[in-house]
Amino acid sequence: MASSPDQLDQVTDHLLQIEIELRRLDVWEVEAPPASAFRSNEPFCIDTMAFTQWLQFVFLERMKVLVESGQPLPTVSGIAPMAEEHFRGRAASGAGLIRTLQAMDQLLSDA
Write the pLDDT tens digit of every residue in 23-70. Answer: 999 999 999 999 999 999 999 999 999 999 999 999 999 999 999 999
Locate the domains of the chain by residue range: 5-27+43-109
Instruction: Classify domain 5-27+43-109 by CATH number.
Output: 1.20.1440.40
Separation of alpha carbons 33 and 39, rounded Å: 11
The pTM of this model reads 0.91
8 Å CB contact between 45 and 59:
no
8 Å CB contact between 79 and 104:
yes
8 Å CB contact between 103 and 11:
no
Separation of alpha carbons 25 and 68, rounded Å: 27
8 Å CB contact between 7 and 111:
yes
